Structure 1
Amino acid sequence: MTDQLSKHRHISFTAHYTGYIWYQMGISHSAFATKKGKTLAAIAHPIESWAEKYVGGSMRTTLKARHTMLDDRLIELIQQYPDLQVLEIAAGLSPRGWWFRKNYPDLVYRELDLPDMAATKQAALAEIDQHQPQLISVDLFSDDFQRAFDLFDPKRPLVVISEGLINYFDKALLQQLISSIAHYGAAFPAMHYLTDLYPEPVKNKLAKIIWSSSKLLKLMSRSAFSFHFTAPAQAEQFFKQAGFPEVEVIQPAIYFATENTDLNPHEHLGDLVWMIDAKLK
């Protein structure tokens, strides 16, 4: 078990908000909708509604976009690798593990989080089904992280997935995390790391407000929350330097386009979130 006083423990409060938003959207289970999440969602609702009306998007629409893209890509990988295994780190109150285990009964899917959040999630899962697998609690930034990988069959492909996590770390810690995933993932015949990533909101007309909000989130979560990249190529190069030779940066503007578009995938298209699919082999 990791230290209960992990310096990253305060990040977990955002899991309550996102968990409730997913429930509101009809893509989650009521067991993952906490009272704290309901309160946070109620506080944010007026601002979110204003942003959706006058800006064309909000935090909750961004949450839906990133969740949809990650789920879609994971389904594609399951179809590509029938014997796939999945490790979701910082799983929080996401319904993903529950949904995929329900819809793909043969899928080996394990979730990992800090001890307090892992206990909360385990209790929620027990409300749905007592036979849900035990959550894993290890320190992502020590050799202890390897224990999570040791739980999987090294003869079968592995996907590591995270959502709403990596912007909470400075670049040095982020590179350490990605490098560790690449290092421990090297034991598997094929390995992908799927994650969302918030780029700098340089092309958004409310960039200053978003920047101010990020500073508040940084304070509330007692983390190093920040935006690290202004162009897809920067993110791609960062992941490559951390040990992933193949990196794809997916932007919602292109992903959700309903018709052929001339948008340049190498430019920042103004989306608040991107998806990364980093492949090791």
Structure 2
Amino acid sequence: MSRAARVDSAHITPSAHYTGYVWYRHQLAEEPFVTPFGRFAHGVLAPVSWGARVAFGLDVEHFLLQRHLLIDALLREAIEQRGVRQVVEIACGLSPRGRRFCSRYPQLRYLEADLPPMAARKRLLLHEEGWLNARHQVRPVDILAEQCANDLQALFSGLDREEPVLVITEGLVNYFELPVIEGFWARLATQLRQFPSASYLTDLYPDLREHPRYRQLRWGIDLVGRLTRGRYYLHYRGDDAIVAGFQACGFGEVRVHDPKELEAAPADAWPALVRVVEGRT
């Protein structure tokens, strides 16, 4: 893999510390998931976040919670209604989801994965708290790698191919240009077709240029790019384009979820800026 690809993957990491603190602030994570850098970054950005809310009606934490809680709801549905007992969360960062769901569902096997440095940190965190066990594990992965020790094939090699599986990515895909992330989705779909049933959940910020808050979204995206020392791309021009794009990558059934599904919003309220995509092979 090229050095450029490694940089593209690695620059995401700073945001993992920030979101880890956000989950803790909203009682979705226990204190061990908080890092000093995450607490510091949240404090430094608090005035900026306040200004964005007042001036633009742009609430970054609200966007994060929208996507996180909707993914949680769809995961619960998959476990309780479709019998999913294997979950793989790629680019897990400091997400508390594995801890919460393993505590709630004793039948669940939860595999977290991230770039080697973050995976090592997450593994140590879970080990020190006594949460790492045969059902809840952490492995290294690089989503851009092909035919190496940390590629997708290696990640999925230890799973039960006779059982359904569900894969999650959160806060990942918009850091990559569309051809790059579509390459990952195509490789992922190939792996998922080896299971009797498989599904994939991811958040995605589409290029909603007609949205009344598009300018504010672009402002927020530029800020995220500066904080993570990279760029943040918007993918697809609406829900229909999302469906077509995921189907072209090998997902036969695709649903696009608006976070309003979890909220008692009036019928004429603006759609959310983030989507959660559910693809099945």
1:175 maps to 2:182: yes
Aligned-partner residue type, residue 6 of structure 2: S
CA contact (8 A) 1:203 1:270 kept: no
1:70 maps to 2:71: yes
The runs of at least 4 consecutive aligned structure 1 residues that moved more than 4 Å come to: 53-57, 203-206
Structure 1 residue aligned with 2:164 = 157
1:14 maps to 2:15: yes
Deviation at 1:151, TM superposition (A): 1.3
Compared with structure 1, are the counterparts of its residues 166 and 49 closer, same or farther at alpha carbon in structure 2 (3 Å cutoff)? same
CA distance in 1, matches of 2:83, 2:50: 41
Structure 2 residue aligned with 1:221 = 228
Deviations 1:202-238, CA, capped at 9 Å, x for gaps: 3454533432442343344344421012211111110
- More displaced 10-residue stretch of structure 1: 75-84 or 169-178: 75-84
Task: Spell out the pairing of 1:256-275 with structure 2 (5 A cutoff).
Answer: 256-258=262-264, 261=267, 269-275=270-276
Compared with structure 1, are the counterparts of its residues 131 and 270 closer, same or farther at alpha carbon in structure 2 (3 Å cutoff)? closer
CA contact (8 A) 1:161 1:193 kept: yes
Structure-2-length-normalised TM-score: 0.89
Compared with structure 1, are the counterparts of its residues 261 and 217 closer, same or farther at alpha carbon in structure 2 (3 Å cutoff)? closer
Compared with structure 1, are the counterparts of its residues 92 and 74 closer, same or farther at alpha carbon in structure 2 (3 Å cutoff)? same
CA contact (8 A) 1:31 1:127 kept: no
- Structure 1, unaligned runs of 5 or more: 264-268
Task: Spell out the pairing of 1:1-281 with structure 2 (5 A cutoff).
Answer: 6-7=6-7, 8-53=9-54, 55-129=56-130, 131-132=132-133, 133-141=136-144, 142-143=146-147, 144-253=151-260, 255-258=261-264, 261=267, 269-280=270-281
CA distance in 1, matches of 2:55, 2:218: 18
CA distance in 1, matches of 2:219, 2:57: 19
CA distance in 1, matches of 2:176, 2:214: 20
CA distance in 2, matches of 1:214, 1:54: 16
CA distance in 1, matches of 2:233, 2:266: 33
The 3-state SS of whatever aligns with 1:135 is strand
Aligned-pair Cα RMSD in Å: 2.2
Aligned residue pairs, count: 271
CA distance in 2, matches of 1:224, 1:186: 32
- More displaced 10-residue stretch of structure 1: 93-102 or 117-126: 117-126
CA distance in 2, matches of 1:259, 1:270: 10
Structure 2 residue aligned with 1:266 = none
Aligned-partner residue type, residue 162 of structure 1: T
Deviations 1:185-213, CA, capped at 9 Å, x for gaps: 00100000001001225345453343244
Compared with structure 1, are the counterparts of its residues 26 and 165 closer, same or farther at alpha carbon in structure 2 (3 Å cutoff)? same
Structure-1-length-normalised TM-score: 0.89
Aligned-partner residue type, residue 172 of structure 1: P
CA distance in 1, matches of 2:249, 2:213: 32
CA distance in 2, matches of 1:134, 1:85: 12
Aligned-partner residue type, residue 249 of structure 1: V
- More displaced 10-residue stretch of structure 1: 224-233 or 32-41: 224-233
Deviations 1:10-57, CA, capped at 9 Å, x for gaps: 211100000000000111111111110111111222232344455544
Aligned-partner residue type, residue 108 of structure 1: R
- Structure 2, unaligned runs of 5 or more: none
CA contact (8 A) 1:201 1:210 kept: no
